[in-house]
A and B are shown apart, each in its own frame.
Chain A
Amino acid sequence: MKLLFERSVAGRKQTIFPDLDVPEATFDETLVRQSAPRLPQMAEVDLGRHYTELAKQTHGVNDGFYPLGSCTMKYNPRVNEQVAALPGFADIHPLQPEETVQGCLGAMHELEGMLAEICGMDAMTLQPAAGAHGEYTGLLLIRAHHLANGDTGRTKIIVPDSAHGTNPASAVMAGFTVVSVPSDAQGGVDLDALRAAVGPDTAGLMLTNPNTLGLFDPNIVEICQIIHEAGGLCYYDGANLNAVMGHARPGDMGFDCVHVNLHKTFSTPHGGGGPGSGPVGCKAFLAPYLPNPRVVERPDGTLAFSCSEQSVGKVRSFYGNFLVAVRALAYILTLGREGIPEASASAVLNANYLAHFLAEAGYALPYGERCMHEFVIDVGPLKAETGVSAMDVAKRLLDFGVHPPTMYFPLIVHEALMAEPTETESRETLDEFVGLMTGILKEAHEDGERLHSAPFTCPIGRPDEVKAARKPHVRYEFDEEG
């Protein structure tokens, strides 16, 4: 497919802007750009068709089943998009006087309250722009807490080996070193290893519960106790909150702070990689450290921004991805008290249903069939038998218009396929997926060799990633440069 630059023809243009209606402002020669940027020169029709073609080569939730584990690719309701586009939200300047933005502050305040209730926390901030950004923010709160207590020796964050890669990376950005603890045979945190890991240098623990194996850690209360008794704090990575919302709350399990992913649990779209939103919640004792500013209610009932001197500062300009927050608010208002637990119950049911029938079809489930919202298939046994890997199975799925499960994660299962169907899929969709996976299993046994070259019907075959990394070609090279 042609690139924008290959479609560009000198002189073609769109008439977006009028002529100057005032005298031109002139600048000294030393301040002006020397050569024009080689941006595409295209008619509107050609630009529109270019992107229509690109859209055809893009797979979104609306194109088909998307059981990408730990990403919660649930349906993105259209009404969310409609309300986020209201000019009364979309066209509001972030530095307007407070009395002219009571609606925005109201939306933020309402969403913060609902998220705090769902998480069992006392205070929230909407400022972090994504999940990893939320992790970083939460860890800054933990750091600020220890420093405020003069506890400068707490430099280590404990992270289970099943954790998302962002956890250790966030901990380092927040100034900590990382201690990894192994999982036990059941996939939970190894309590003995945890007890051995804690000490006077423990700043805290980061935990996803249910974890990336889709397993709820039954020892969660004890885990938090071990950390607290050592003087550390507990951080809940909310990436998998969709499994338990409305049934159990991180705050009640013993966690001190949490981030949630509005673009996972709360139905806002992923946009091909973003924008997301990663609000952070905390218990009252951490609230003074939350990023500035926070929305507060004045005695007269109006809302205002307020800054705390103990705050960790700011992690983003203004107040976060506000229009994403508006979408999440619409979603929570829609589901409400009964709909939230029903959504998670259905997500868990769908995952268990899928796990059961995939096991019945012959796939290995190293941690058993019972799971929360997601589960991990181990393609290891199939690979030993037929040579067909997790990658091969995933790539073959592409031929059928299905986005494969997350591959090779968590790292503790070497040939992992991590599947999360979400609650917005019907039984037929799950049955069809089981049918596809059964067919692939059959193909693996009949002609495993062939699957190494899957997919067969996509616009491209498997790209050469080694070449891409060895000889990075990360921008279009114009002809005149040779």
Chain B
Amino acid sequence: MGSYLPETDEGRAGMLAALGLTKSDELFSVIPPEVRIDALDLPEGRSELEVVSHLEALARENRHFDVVLRGAGAYRHHIPSIVKSVTSKEEFVTAYTPYQAEISQGVLQSIFEYQTQICELTGMDVANASVYDGATAAAEGVLMCRDRRRNEVVVAETVHPDVMTVIKTYCASRDVPVVTVPATSDLMVDLDALRAAVGPTTAAVYVQSPNYLGIIEDMDGIVAASHEAGSKVVMGFNPIALGILRTPGEYGVDVAVGEGQPLGLPLGFGGPYLGIMATTKALMRKLPGRIVGETSDAEGRRAFVLTLQAREQHIRREKASSNICSNEALCAMTASVYLAAVGPEGLAQVARLCAGHAHYLAEKLAELGFAPMSDKPFFNEFLTTCPVDAHQLVDQLAEHGILAGLPTHDGILWCATELNTRAEIDRVVSVVKEVCDR
């Protein structure tokens, strides 16, 4: 049996004796006998060696692809070595939420730095310390826009399907109606339909750009249409794209939310990820979750603390802006180290590499008959037709260690990042050609 108890059996017996007890069972005498159990139906405990072997065997049952051309909300990027090194420091890993500021300045300062970087990245005024993931950030984002008169949410059907479902789940339980707006044939939000959907009871319009199918939305048109009707706009963004693309702040949105996974977090079969939330000064006090602020101590030294806590559950209980308590702090630190490591130039470069590789891949695939399903600008994802059976294509690429694009919307949703070099894409394309020629 494995154990992390420092005390020996004798040591525990001595402690029990000090309390005038003989068996630890006496400490459980308050539990009614009818709900006590004798034993759990679990396997016997194991040594570290056996546990590692067991989990390594499980990990081997997964297929680890050499080449990944699939995104759709989770992206394989290069993770700079310093990112892992910093975020595996035991002080950061094993600390709790920094309630005691005097011994938590390190983690508090790192969150303050993260908040600043997110403001810079998005062009917004204020960011929180993170929420669970991009989908919950979107849900919290639309909910924070409600007021007495406006209690309805409009969501574009071009957003990530999981984000759509999470928004609907969060809204359903608070009796917030969700109206969806369809896409046009070029895979963008139908602006006319959007204008028709937004009205005097609309609290927020949620759009994602680049959208789920990779297309950069007409954010100017969407923001204008929404604001004209008095609705706020919540924009989902890809943080890597913001290395070169126009920011939510520059579009004038009210809340910017994003999945922070591309900023140094591994694919991890879906988590843990990072929910990024940023907003305007006007909406700061409606932002959910923790926020770190700068202040000073009695001697005038700079100090960081959790602040604006009057929004939060441990103070406000049922009147809180959200129930969130634990967030994704270490993932936020990961993003912060990532952004500091790559710097402004590196972020622009990785964005250029992603876009360049995706456009190169799109061009080569088009030559093989995988026609783009929209001619609108895209960043690093794009939907094509599939001239062969999509699932066969996926299987046959898998045989070459390649994870193909995601079969969806009667086509294939491809993705490229900085990792998919020209040479790699050329190799992929030759394999695709073989499949097509068969």
**With A25-B356, A343-B4 already in contact, 20 other A-B pairs whose C-beta atoms are closer than 8 Å:** A3-B109, A5-B116, A18-B418, A27-B245, A47-B337, A79-B48, A86-B59, A93-B403, A100-B62, A107-B55, A118-B42, A165-B320, A166-B314, A173-B323, A316-B271, A318-B269, A335-B3, A336-B44, A352-B19, A467-B296
Q: Which residues of A contact B111 (CB under 8 A)?
A: 272
* Cα A36 to Cα B43 with chains together (Å): 56
| Stretch of A193-201, A240-248, A374-382, A436-444 at the chain-chain interface | A240-248
Whether A213 is near chain B, meaning CB under 8 Å from some CB there, is no
User: Separation in Å of the B87 CB from the closest CB of chain A?
Assistant: 9
C-alpha spacing A338/B9, complex, angstroms: 14
Is B185 an interface residue when CB atoms closer than 8 A count as contact? no
> Quick one: given A22-B357, A249-B37, A336-B1, are A270 and B94 in contact (CB under 8 Å)?
yes
Interchain nearest-CB distance for A446 vs B (Å): 22
Would you list which residues of chain A between 1 and 53 have a CB under 8 Å from chain B?
A: 1, 3-5, 12-14, 16-18, 20-25, 27-28, 30-34, 36-42, 44, 47-48, 50-53
A81 near B93 (CB under 8 angstroms)?
Answer: yes
Chain B contacts for A225, CB-based, 8 A: none
Q: How many residues of B contact A (CB 8 A)?
A: 203
A313–B172 touching, CB < 8 Å: yes
How far apart are B332's CB and chain A's nearest CB, in angstroms?
8
Q: Are B55 and A94 in contact, CB atoms less than 8 angstroms apart?
A: no
Least distance between A180 CB and chain B CB atoms (Å): 9
Contact with A along B325-359 (1 / 0, CB 8 A): 11111110100110111111111111011011111
A267 to B, closest residue via Cβ: B4
Binds A, one of B147-155, B186-194, B198-206, B285-293: B285-293
Q: Is B180 an interface residue (CB 8 A)?
A: no
Q: Say yes or no: is A361 at the interface (Cβ < 8 Å to chain B).
A: no
Query: A424-B4, A463-B304 are contacts. A22–B359 as well, Cβ < 8 Å?
Result: yes
Report yes or no: A475 in contact with B74, Cβ–Cβ below 8 A.
Answer: no
Residues on B with C-beta less than 8 A from A50 are: 340
A60 touches B317 (CB 8 A): no
A25 touches B61 (CB 8 A): no
In the bound complex, what is the Cα–Cα distance between A177 and B115 (angstroms)?
33
Given A95-B72, A353-B18, A427-B7, A60-B326 contact (CB < 8 Å)? no
| B36, closest chain A residue (CB) | A248
Chain A residues positioned under 8 Å from B268 (CB to CB): 89-90, 92, 322-323
Contacts of A336 in B (CB 8 A): 1-2, 42-46
B310 at interface by CB-CB < 8 Å: yes
Return the CB mask of B394-432 against A: 1 if under 8 Å, else 0: 100010000100100000000000100111010000000
Q: Would B326 and A274 count as touching, CB distance under 8 A? A: yes
Asked if residues A474 and B360 are in contact (CB atoms below 8 Å), the reply is: no
Q: Are B342 and A17 in contact (CB under 8 A)?
A: yes
Q: Which residues of A contact B173 (CB under 8 A)?
A: 136, 139-140, 143, 173-175
Residue contact B267 to A94, C-beta cutoff 8 Å? yes
CB < 8 Å neighbour of B100 from A32, A59, A177: A59
CB distance from A458 to the nearest CB of B (A): 4
25 residue pairs from A and B, CB less than 8 Å apart? A93-B76, A96-B65, A101-B62, A101-B269, A102-B62, A130-B324, A136-B173, A166-B314, A249-B37, A272-B330, A273-B98, A291-B169, A313-B169, A317-B133, A317-B162, A317-B271, A318-B270, A337-B39, A352-B19, A455-B102, A462-B298, A464-B297, A464-B298, A468-B295, A474-B112
A125 / chain B contacts, CB cutoff of 8 Å: none
CA of A57 to CA of B116, assembled, Å: 20
B242 to chain A, nearest CB (A): 7
Complex interface: chain A residues within 8 A of B360 (CB): 22-23
Chain B CB within 10 A, most for which of A92, A244, A276: A92
A97 x B394 contact (CB < 8 A):
yes
Q: Which residue of A lies closest to B304 (CB)?
A: A463
Question: What residues on B are CB-neighbors of A356 within 8 Å?
Answer: 18-19
Interface: A287 (CB within 8 A): no
A41 → B minimal CB distance (Å) = 5
Q: How many A-B residue pairs have CB under 8 A?
A: 695
**In the complex, which of the residues B117, B163, B170, B317 contacts A168, with contact meaning CB atoms closer than 8 Å?**
B317
As a 0/1 sequence over residues 12 to 44 of chain B, the CB contacts with chain A under 8 angstroms (1 = contact) are 101110110000110110111011110111111
* Residues B48 and A131 in contact, CB atoms below 8 Å apart: no
Q: Report whether B244 and A32 are in contact in the complex, using a CB–CB cutoff of 8 Å.
A: yes
Contact B341 A44 (CB under 8 A): yes
| Interface assignment of B368: CB less than 8 Å from any CB of chain A | no
Residue on B nearest A108 in the bound complex, by CB: B269
- Decide: B359 and A88 in contact? CB cutoff 8 A: no
Asked whether B323 lies within 8 Å of A136 as measured between CB atoms, the reply is yes
- Tell me the bound Cα distance from A332 to B40 in angstroms: 12
B436 close to A (CB within 8 Å): no
Please measure, in the bound complex, the distance between the C-alpha atom of A100 and the C-alpha atom of B62, giving whole angstroms: 5
> Does B19 contact A475, Cβ atoms closer than 8 Å?
no
The smallest C-beta distance from B210 to any residue of chain A, in angstroms, reads 10
Among all A-B residue pairs, the 5 with the closest Cβ atoms? A88-B59, A336-B45, A318-B270, A271-B330, A103-B61
Nearest A residue to B318 by beta-carbon distance? A168
Assess the A17–B166 pair: CB atoms within 8 A. Answer: no
